[in-house]
Structure 1
Amino acid sequence: MILNRFFKKLTGNRLSLIGALVLSSWNISNAQIVSYYSFAQSQGTYTSLSNPTNIVTATAVSGTGFLDENVYTLDNVIPFSFPFNGTSFNSVKVYANGFISFGTTATSTSDPISSGNAYSGVISPLAADLSSFYNINGVSSSIDYSVVGSAPNREFVVQWSHFRPYSSSQSSSAYHDWNFQARLHENGSIKYVYNMTAVGNPTATNTKVGLRGTTSSDYTNRTASGNATSNWSNSTQGTSSSSGIASNYSYLPSQGLTFTWTAPTACTTPSSQPSNLNLTNTGIIINGSFTPSSPAADKYLILRNLNGTTPIAPVNGTIYSTGENVSLNSYVAYYGANTTFENNYNHGIKGNNQYTYTIYSVNSNCTNGPLYNVQNPLTSSITNCPITVNGIAASNITSNSFNISWSASENGNANPINTIIEVAIDSNFTNQITGSPFTLSTSSTSQNITGIQPNTQYFIRGKNVSTQCQSAYSSTASLYTACVPTTTLSENFDAVTGTNLPNCWGKILTSNNSSIPTISLTTTDTFSAPNNISFYGNGATMTDAATKVILVSPELTNLNAGTHRLRIKARRTSADTKLQIVALTGNTASANVDIIETIPLTTTYQEYTVYLNGYTGFGNYLGIRRVDGSSYSYMYVDDVIWEPIPSCPELSSLTLNSVSYNGANISWTNVANQQPASGYEYIVTTTNTPPANTATFVNLASGTNSVNLSSLTNGTYYFWIRRLCSSTEKSPWKSVTFTTIPTTPAPWKEEFLTSTFPQGWVNGGNPFTLGTARGATGNGNSATNLYKNLYGSLSTGSFNTIAVGPLTTNTYELSFYYKQSNYNSPYAALTDWGNFDVQISTDFGTTWTTVGTVNNEAGTGNYIKKTYSLSGYQGQFVQVKIVANRTAGDFDLSFDNFEIKDTVILATNEVSKDNIKIYPNPTTSFVKIDSKEKVRSFELYNISGQLISKGGQVQEISLESFNSGLYILKVTLENNQTFTQKVIKK
């Protein structure tokens, strides 16, 4: 019986007992039974052998008495024939590395399951690089064996006592103490029983637990990661022969944990076939599903045949691999447990064929298998769709034609087929050319396309269509038709994707060294999104004549006609980088280069206009070249336009010279300094939209080259100007944008009532923070203040306020509150800390004058008020600047409640807060005025000082029509007293 089982598995298959008797001449080296052994786990009790036969005992910590990779051959020690892997054994080899092997091979490996050694079989309860210890806490390592029980339930037991990983310590305070048994039952089952402990935190190792047949491909083993969710108690089936269980002191098996391996039973032929085969197709792909046999087989063999061929029944004991099989006269479409399958091109499917599928029930997870039920197998047929067109390529491309070719399709003759080719100017194929789609015979493999446009991208795809169904579309091919010279161009680089340049554009890249510059399409720093062109030095010397970084335009017919100009937008990242416009005699590095103009760039995009009305050379390509600047920096170019020179050209340049609180100074230059005959007209708007011709303009005489704008309120403006060449001929607009310097009227107060940094305030290089932290809390109506932590190297800081004014009298004063507090709780004031200067600017921050210094003033733990006269600043705007310096300590310097007010008016006319109340504040829609005196009028200003609303006797003011933000409300009472308060609209 044992020999029969062995024969039955030799080819890697399981056979019936009858088949094995017939096939006794098979090569038994191909046996594979171990992988079919089943596994079970239980919790038992570890019982050491009583009076066993000792194989070896450790007698020293090193030398001959030390157990390490020792192998012990025990001949004829098993009193029964132990059946394993299709044969029987009475002799074993026992290894100090924690496993048993059968046969003549003896090795020093610590991983016998994945080893290439020629064992006749392996029993591996705990294979690892193990070694003994000697006299640790009174115990030493040993290996013993014994036979326990009575026939027919005898067990041959090998026991390893007090072993450890070789790499772990032999110290009495930190060591592994591993005890385990391999119990071989005479019915062929195998048990591993464990009693593994650890003292302290010894080193972990990876152990190999399982069984192996004659090769490392025939195995079953266990794996775990050695953590809370993956350990000895919940190991899983290994996915490779080298899988193991991580064994560390935290996750060892519980005492008595038992692993049991049971040999597979003999196979029987399935008694029924599957049913209800359903075949469907998507293109050439065929999908199938069926109802499993009942009782269910564990596998199914699926054969596929072309119409007109017949399968040959499978042979018991043979496992068939997927693919063409001559012995079956079929294509093996599937072998496995699933009741669904898919056949596609990778499974040998061709298009437009009728296929018949035949399915057999199989029992295989047992010995002497697989066994096939060859009686009345399940069959069904289907015709699939054609395979698609493949290998579309274009050739012989001209400006108005090209050829398309493709590979002959791998299709059968089940149904008549046509090939459909589509050509379009878009990848969605919504705009197809005249004649497309082209319907061709299936024997056609090419098509000539004519009557198309130059400099254009075309997209091509194909499919095959039968009378039953059609293939999917092929992958899309694309091409550009050849370029032809042009007279104008307008390129913003936005119609292309990736890094390639637009069609007909080129680049010349040379260098004075091995580092080659780059010109690339990019989305970085565009002027008009999404794309622009970047010029990068990439290590080349940009000042060297041998370095050429030139973007080359399409060929132009009129470069030397004297009638056109180039407009381009560009910027740089490195100082000294220049843009050079050149004329080229070709689009390769050997072309002659004529320099037209060299333009210094700025770090912001500017539009540059270059007139070629004086060029008389032979160039027919425009080049945009980068010169100078740091190699590892960029130049960016966008919106390139080659166009006729207007009869009334726009200004050559427009320059913003200066900005004030209510205006700006702007100057301009004309092309060739040619003044327009009828002067200029301009307009100032608040939108970036060219003005309509019906707008009201301001006229300037010819010869004027600048203008001073004034009387503007705080805000952002657009200045538009154009030349008047005659009463009817006007140039295109030229524009520049500017923002006036923020100001606010006096009296003024800033209490930091919101979390938004106040408009017009400027933080210095070491900025202050708006908020609250530690002892830096606000003073008055809000916990928010402006503070900075000063310590160590962060020892300075500054900020300045919005410009306030103009001050109408010489009786104004500045006041604010400050506090310094220790960084650490309880945030007490420091004795020595530093100083801060109070500075005033009357020229909007250009120059500053110190009006006071607070130096190491003793703190009180609370805010201290500081007051400074502004008597010398009548009629002026003033900004306040605080410059702080630390000399010692780690502290927060805090500021709050900045105020500029007229002391005389306050003394006579300002209303006490006790006599008037403005609420709610903040508000969502309106505020109420609650006053002991009758209200005469009110004025509401925005943060820029503009009067936006006023009224007479009211007790409620609506803010519903205004945006969220900060406003200033001034209330005048019947007794001429005034009250000013900030109001927040949420």
Structure 2
Amino acid sequence: MRKNYLLWMIFFLSVYQLNAQTYCVPTAGASSQANYLKNAIFSDQGALYYTATAYQAYVDNSSSQIVTSYPGGTMNVHLDFVGSAKSYVWIDWNNDGDFDDFYENPLGPSSYSVVDDLIFIPPSQAAGIYRIRVQSGTSFPNPVNPCGPNNYGNFVDFSLKVEASPSCFVPTTLTSSNITNNSAIISWSAPSTAPGSYEYYYTSSTTVPDASTLASGSSNTTSAPVSGLLPFTTYYYYIRSVCNTSSKSAWSLRGILKTKCDAKTSMFEDFENAVNGPNNADCWDRIILGSGYQTIASGSGVNSSKAMYQSANGAANTTIAVLPTFSNVNAGTHWLRFKARVSSTAGVLDIGYVTNDTDASSFVNIQSINISNTVYDGYEYSVIIPNTVPANARLAVRHGGVPSVNIYWDNVYWEPKPTCFVPTNIVLSNATSATANITWTAPAAAPAMGYDIYYSTNNTPPVSTTAPIITGVTANPYTIQGLNSATTYYVWVRSRCSASDQSAWSNIASVLTLCAPAATLSENFDSYATGLLTNAPCWGRVITGSASANINGTGALSGTRHVLQRSISAGDVSIAVLPEFTNINAGTHSLKLNAYCSVSTGKLEVGYLTNPTDASSFILIQQLNITNTSYTPATGTSEYTVVIPNTVPAGARLAIRDTYATSGNALYYWDNISWAPTQTMNVHDNTVRSEPNLYPNPFTDVITIANSKNLQSVMIYDASGKFITDIRNFDHTISLKELASGVYLVKMAMKDGTSKTIKAIKK
């Protein structure tokens, strides 16, 4: 801001009669049209007001937008831009058709997207009309040129009319107070030479009054009451000095006030019609201390709609949302009901009232509400407003800044309180595989017919017409029975005051029932989220070092999920712990799974844990040689079966182990795992069989099958999994001399339906 007058300009500026000039038409916006002058106000002994709703490279308002001042006067400048624009202000003081003389750039460049500054009119400035040019943008050439190009902004021209020093000066500093739904008090500051009286003019139109505009009223002091206003309406008001009957000043810079709304008796507000940003919804107000923040935000409300968003960091940064005026605020018959959530950390909202809607210290708390839920569904809060609230008070919601969290709230009701109140603080505990205990806090007026309970395996909240599963409960705590094991249940409670009068359902609570030992298992992991294996109920994992056992979402055998185990470095152990089985030691069941490894020399170990959290309690039953490097459903070569003996202790948990010591840094994938009865053997088969095998490997023309008694067939595939031949009638040797040299897969199918696949190499 240039506040020092330049004395030598007295000699520099001419005093001849000014003539109209032709000015360059500037070029702008070649690279970006995102930044431009949105609002401008120039004022002294008269004012001009400019508003733009869209980009224009150049706007010439010099003949229609004129501000008046006088030699030695001070012109106030307010500029507001779209985008984070900077600006230059030029004035052609010598009226020579350009802006390249000294002091013809009195303001610039600004650093912010809002400018409030002053321009001093030189004391020797001749009377006349002078061109003002505002240049805005984010980037300017060096040197800056008032003719352009200005590739990242625009230009707007206005005019300054310099007249002889007035005999009657304009009032300043307009303010308003005591605003109601139909009245207000307007005030102003007297000029340095006080007039005999003042006239004021107010209107809901943005049309600026001129010297011929009739005043709305007059005052002998620096304030005046205005009445008969419309509710919730923006008014513009102007003041002028009346020095005598023939001498009046220009109208002042306008003041702006907005009347309050008419008082309501009820309300529902979902903020959908509110404009995004810090301005509040219709008839709402806000009080901000320090860096407290409050705004209407899209995507933050119920069903991702708009919501009120409050953020505060400490008591010095409190933010208060002031609700509309209610004529029945102290009737004692109503309550405030709303939904709220936090982003992560729990927060607190204070529900109370203010006796002065501009003063945070006038807030009186009625009830503090702890909010820990991060979703709206299933959560609603209510506060009964007592009849002790002053009749002129306004309800308010305060975020006091402790703790410092973001809080969102939506769907706000001011409505008659019910006759049957909701129980609160629903807590579920002591879950078993089939039961869970539930407790709640009874409302102040306990319901005559007890409580209803509704539960479901999905979190869709019940409505008033939803039939309860349990009704008329009088015990608190109460045990819910007949639940399924390893299942998440969502639970709600409501008061039953009479057969026709029940409260709303409570906020949601949930519980996961415990696992129950099962007799069978068939699992493909598709219904669980990717991540830790424990995302699958009843499964466990034991990890040492940097090993992992996770549900993976890429490349599953069937569906979209399978398990990935990995041990990365020395000492790593990854153990996937299966659910508990009632018949683990019956000697009648087998564990079957499909698996592959990132290398053809993989080794997985199937066994059991006597302690499902202790890796050292693992007992090996069988090592699986995982030679395939992909799932092969067509050939079955990725399917592995382990018969579980009856020597496994009761209560043990089957487990699949991958250790760095045995397997190295390899990736193991497995899917479609089952626990089912071992297929019945032929009566002539031994009850305990030995695994078949082949030798020599590599071979030349003939392979020998060891332990071939229980074999049904031998199938040969090439390395890609393409079927070559099926050999069924053989002794213990098989001739394969017709095969070319290479790698083959030999699948040995057993009479009991199981199979084993070995990679063989022909020389």
TM-score when scaled to structure 2?
Answer: 0.45
Higher relative contact order (CA 8 A, sep 6+): 2
| Largest Rg, 1 or 2 | 1
